[in-house]
Structure 1
Amino acid sequence: MYGNFLELGPWRVKFQEQRHDSFTLEPNPGAWNRKFGILFLDNPIGAGFSMASSPQEIPRDELSVAKHLFIAITTFLQLNQSFKSRPLYIAGESYAGKYVPAIGYYILNKNAGQLTEHRRVNLAGIAIGNGLTDPVNQVATHASNAYFSGLINQRQKIELEKLQSEAIDLAKLGLWSQATNIRYAVMDSLQKMTGLATMFDYTKKVPYEINRVTRFLQNEVVKRALGVKESVGFHRCSDAVKNALHEDVMKSVKNMVEMVLKKKSKVLLYQGQYDLWDGVASTEAWVRTLGWEETGNFLMAERKVWKRDGKVAGYVQKWRNLSNVAVFGAGHLVPVDQPLNSQEMIENWVLDQGLFGEKDLLSNHWGTFS
């Protein structure tokens, strides 16, 4: 629901400056449904308005999450046959850096299995914004990223690197819960060292308005308008979900991204440049290790300057069906910070236009791969 009312839906919450409990809606000029239909799903069970009958029902791994999503998507398509033949793109941000590859992987495996043709899902691509996808490679980047951004000094960098190494070592031993705890310790330490208002964007003086959107969604009038029972509460991320997925945090789904790429579905990765959680350096760290036959060519592909209305909007690196975009002037929630630029990005990527429609080029500085 945050994506709907804070980021990329047709309407977004407009906050009254003087009243924390007063809300109105305004049209979103950067909505992603200008050319496409969008279905928002609260995921996993137990998050948002999605109810779990018991804590045991909440999934504890990505394939279980994907199974639930697959049921939701296929049920929607069965009830709305006009969407059945349309290409499906699945997008998400942050921890959805795991959910999105997992459902893509699950759909492609189902399509290749025993499903009859009319029951197959027409998956065209997946998009991951500022995602946590391959935590071991990603956690290793936080100290250097903060140091070279001028946010910590050499001594603090060394201190963080020790914690990062501990998280990595624990993950390699399969001690997932302990590894998750140390990853959180890395981020907590970085927060204390920098004193930033939010780790999601180190340029912001105040955090994103997420809590106020939560209050909006908990309003009884809003719930009635959305068709939600008054007895159902909205949970941004419940303790039950957090506990259920605690051991999942440091586990990688990079293999699932590799499978999606090998099946020729499109993959878009995009990150706001100011994000200290899952930003540009974090994503590039795991992309370099992809077990995909085109990884070498992707790494040598030209990184092009993306401009909108004559102004720099970001940087696009593309090879075959993989695109990676660094979004200028944005943090963890790219559509909040750059609504019009994010709109252009997603539309051009889906429609193979702009820089996404240009011929793949290898950098002249590095030669070519055979």
Structure 2
Amino acid sequence: MFLRHGLLIPLTRRINGGPGCSSSLGLFMELGPCNIRGPLQSGSNGTEWNPYSWNNKANLFFLDQVQSSTYADYGETISTTEDAAKNVQAFVTIFFETFSKFKGREFHMSGESYGGRYLPVFASEIVDQNSRAAAHGFEPINLKSVLIGNGLTDFKTMWEGYYDIQCKNLSVVPFQDIKTCVSMKQQLHRCLKMYQKDCIEQTDPTGCSLAINFCSSALSEPYRTTGRNPYDMSKPCKGEELESSLCYPITKYINEFLDRPETRKALGVHPSIGNYTGCSEEVGMRFVASLDHYHSNQWYIAGLLERGIKVLIYVGTYDWICNWVGNQKWVMALDWTGSAEFTAQKDRDWIVDGQVAGFTRSANGLTFATVDAAGHMVPYDKPKEALTMLSRWLEGKDL
């Protein structure tokens, strides 16, 4: 946890995705007060100051959101976001009761990637439990907003986005050959029909698994053969790099730093617990087995908006895996009482230091924004723009 002095400074909680991945990536690679940029050098503790940390604007803490991820070993397994939400809500309640000086403080929840699944459910659990808090002697949590970066909120629209982002002149020049794009387009309708029937309209594990396999083969596999980074279409990444470092060598240095004996000792990691793992394959497989990825989460977003919780959806335009096209589709189709005014808005540029940072639209508490030339991890690729965005958001200003 990283604090800024001042009773009016808001509190922001950050999670990363996976499922089962550590928020240490957000901490040491993206927006924490210190970054790890390379291997340990003599005379250095391995970290360097991050001038664009979100800690400049908020009290900030990071949470590994699923038990048994990273160092965690609690003897309990979690395999769905709904189950994880109960633990997260309990943790946040205990946090405010333990650190009572933060009671009543504005609370903002942020995350990226699979956070697009986690955060709508986690935030909704907090809102729902707030109505019961007073009866049990707890002060309600003052949740103000949710910020989701390059999130996986609705897989159905992401399937559509996978075709658009590869075959249309959007973020980058179309890089699939025409023959492949024709095949993808022909199979897209069948994919969406199967997915709608077996993954949304009814819970059919066998049918949904078949739909997912078909959609993945038709729309995801063509990208994986291009040799491009799935988190940044503008960069190459071979399969072995993806497996070993998520296409970012810095992740290896973060793992090494967190596995140093002095780091483990400082963090109070018990010697019986194994090496630090940036992403837990075990946790990921449990969530896959429960088909947790394929729930539609936009209705949680609608519920939050109806109850006055603001929502910011921001997306780096170079990301493929959770691309801006798929995110824009579900945002524009969202059914809530403010939707007519939101869809009537026109996209406009948002500016940082005189330069266009992306486009945005906003109405009735919902904001959608792109970040030009950023990949999956916006604060890593565009730290100044990300901090400016956060600052304006917390201050209640338009981007």
Q: If the TM-score is normalised by the length of the shorter chain, which range does it land in?
A: 0.7 to 0.9
Displacement after TM superposition at 1:62 (Å): 2.0
Q: 1:45 maps to what in 2?
A: 67
Alignment of 1:150-299 (within 5 A): 150-161=174-185, 164-165=188-189, 167-168=191-192, 169-170=194-195, 172-174=197-199, 175-185=207-217, 186-192=219-225, 194-196=226-228, 198-205=229-236, 207-208=247-248, 209-232=250-273, 233-246=275-288, 247-299=291-343
Give the C-alpha shift of residue 224 in structure 1: 2.1
1:299 Cα offset (Å): 1.8
SS at match of 1:234: coil
Match for residue 58 of structure 2? 36
Contact conserved, 2:347 with 2:360, CA < 8 A, in 1?
A: yes
Q: Find the counterpart in structure 2 of residue 108 from structure 1.
A: 127
Q: Does 1:88 align with 2:107?
A: yes
Query: 3-state DSSP class of the match of 2:311?
Result: strand
Separation (CA, whole Å) in 2 of partners of 1:294 and 1:12: 39
2:368 to 313, 324, 339: 324
Q: Does 1:139 align with 2:159?
A: yes
Who is 1:351 aligned against? 395
* C-alpha deviation, 1:102, in angstroms: 0.6
What is the CA-CA distance between 1:126 and the residue it aligns to? Answer: 0.4
Partners of 1:282 and 1:51 in 2: how far apart?
Answer: 35
Q: Which one is further off, 2-11 or 228-237?
A: 228-237
Measured on the aligned residues, the alpha-carbon RMSD in Å equals 2.2
**What is the CA–CA distance in structure 2 between the aligned matches of 1:182 and 1:211, rounded to whole Å?**
33
Q: TM-score, normalised by structure 1?
A: 0.87
Conservation of the 8 A alpha-carbon contact between 2:116 and 2:153: yes
The 1:42/1:181 distance shift into structure 2, 3 A limit, reads farther
Task: Describe the shift of the 1:258–1:277 C-alpha distance in structure 2 as closer, same or farther (beyond 3 A).
Answer: same
Residue 26 of structure 1 aligns with an amino acid whose one-letter code is: E
Q: How far 1:74 sits from its partner (Å)? A: 1.0
Q: Distance in 2 between matches of 1:259 and 1:161?
A: 33
| Equivalent position SS for 1:14 | coil
Per-residue CA distance 1:90-130 (angstroms, 9 max, x = gap): 00100010111111111111112464373321110101000
Question: Aligned AA for 1:119?
Answer: E
SS for the counterpart of 1:141 is helix
The answer to whether the 8 Å contact 1:305/1:312 transfers is yes
Counterpart-to-counterpart distance in 2, 1:238 and 1:40: 17
> What is the identity, as a one-letter code, of the residue corresponding to 1:158?
V
Task: Give the distance between the partners of 1:234 and 1:214, measured in 2 at CA.
Answer: 7
**Corresponding residue for residue 203 of structure 2:** none
Structure 2 counterpart of 1:204, one-letter code: K
Q: 1:340 to 1:106 in 2, by over 3 A?
A: same
Instruction: Name the aligned partner's letter for residue 340 of structure 1.
Output: K
Which residue number corresponds to residue 367 of structure 1?
Answer: none
Q: Secondary structure at the match of 2:233?
A: coil
Between 224-233 and 179-188, the greater mean CA deviation after superposition: 179-188
In 1, Cα distance between equivalents of 2:85 and 2:126: 9
Whether 1:303 and 2:347 are equivalent positions in the alignment is: yes
Unpaired segments of 5 or more residues in structure 2?
Answer: 1-23, 200-206, 238-246
1:10 to 26, 33, 36: 33
Structure 1: stretches of 5+ with no match in the other structure: 357-370
Q: What SS class does the counterpart of residue 333 from structure 2 fall into?
A: coil
* C-alpha distance 68-181 of structure 1, shift in aligned 2 (>3 A): farther
1:212-265: CA deviation from partner (whole Å, max 9, x where unpaired): 322322222222233323433322222221121111111111111110111111
Provide the C-alpha distance between the structure 2 equivalents of 1:147 and 1:52, rounded to a whole number of angstroms. 45
8 Å CA contact retained: 1:43, 1:50? no
In 1, the alpha carbon distance for the partners of 2:74 and 2:221 equals 30
Q: Is the contact between residue 13 and residue 24 of structure 1 (CA under 8 Å) also seen in structure 2? A: yes
Measure, in 1, the Cα distance between the counterparts of 2:214 and 2:72: 29
C-alpha distance in 2, partners of 1:30/1:230?
A: 34
Is contact 1:10–1:28 with CA below 8 Å preserved after alignment?
A: yes
Runs of 4 or more above 6 Å deviation? none
Render the CA deviation track for 1:245-297: whole Å, top value 9, x for unaligned. Answer: 11111111111111011111110000001001112101011112211121222
**Whole-Å Cα distance in 2 between the matches of residues 23 and 187 of structure 1?**
41
